[in-house]
Amino acid sequence: MAKVFIDGSSGTTGLRIRERLSERKDIELISVPYEERHDPLVRKYAMAKADIAFLCLPDDSAKESAALAEDLDTVIIDTSTAHRVSEGWVYGLAELEGQKEKIAKAKRIANPGCHATGFIALVEPLVKAGIIKADQFLQCTSLTGYSGGGKKMIAQYEDENRDPLLDAPRLYGLTQTHKHLKEMKALCSLEHFPAFSPVVADFYSGMETIIPLFKEEINGTAEDIIQVYQKLYQGNIIRYADISKDGMISAAYMKGRDDMLVHVEGNEDRIVLCAVFDNLGKGASGAAIQNMNIVLGIDETEGLVIGE
């Protein structure tokens, strides 16, 4: 039985991981007294007892926690932004070519950001295939449910006296400094940051990441792109599929699930890449649990909600 400690189990992601792992008979959860949860010595002792520790903390706190574990053999899975492009940390998107093997051997794993998961799943294989050029200027729009903003945003949206402006989708990340941009650029080996427009809307969870392309900008066709996706994504967790319904694609299509569907639409002149998944699933706790499963050498889908 694997021993697991969750540092920061009261936040959205940490709470969800704890709830899901508490149902598993192959996992023993290590807990610390609530009043001692911020004590560095208590946290380090808990991490030392664990085979795997999840860091579900703000960036600065995650860095402090990782430093506490520096001399420990415990596998650390950090769900924050703190270590996603840091040396010595393996990026936890297992579906990228060769990445699962790296995760299986890693002691330090950085769980991907939700928006970044969709962007990288769509772009990285096409850069590697030479269809998208490394120096290309890309645009991306990504729509998320309000749970992506954590407890504070959830409370805002679920307040019966909330601001009427929350009734409609809202664009954010207006200064082009969104915290996922670094990993989007680095993992896709891009020379330029994409122009990224994240949007939050009045639904709890779900995500739709969209990237438009012009035929003049790429080396290939929509069919070439589809073939790349179909060849790479042959597992259960990311798959290529036609997800349009009545000429539309809903961001809630994969709500409550831990897998992702990628799709290509458009025509001969303009192509649209689309990834649909749950920001709380493949975009957060689902990916973290998948990475834990890989480290433990068991079926990576154990405890995950995967569709047909």
Q: Could you give the residue numbers annotated as active site?
A: 114
In sequence order, what are the residues at sequence separation of 6 or more whose Cβ sits closer than 8 angstroms to the Cβ of residue 42?
A: 32, 33, 36
Query: Could you tell me which of 280, 274, 248, 245 has the C-alpha nearest to residue 261?
Result: 274
CB 58 within 8 A of CB 66: no
Number of Cα atoms under 13 Å in the Cβ half of residue 116: 26
CB 169 within 8 A of CB 140: no
Phi and psi (nearest 5°) for 294? -65, -45
The Cα–Cα gap between 296 and 186 comes to 27
The Cα–Cα gap between 4 and 211 comes to 37
DSSP single-letter state for residue 165: G
Sign of the dihedral defined by the CA atoms of residues 160, 285, 142, 208, in that order: negative
- Tell me the two tokens of residue 94: 């297992």
- Tell me the two tokens of residue 92: 């936890």
The Cα–Cα gap between 160 and 171 comes to 22
Query: Could you tell me which of 147, 7, 163 has the C-alpha nearest to residue 82?
Result: 7
DSSP single-letter state for residue 284: I
CB 5 within 8 A of CB 47: yes
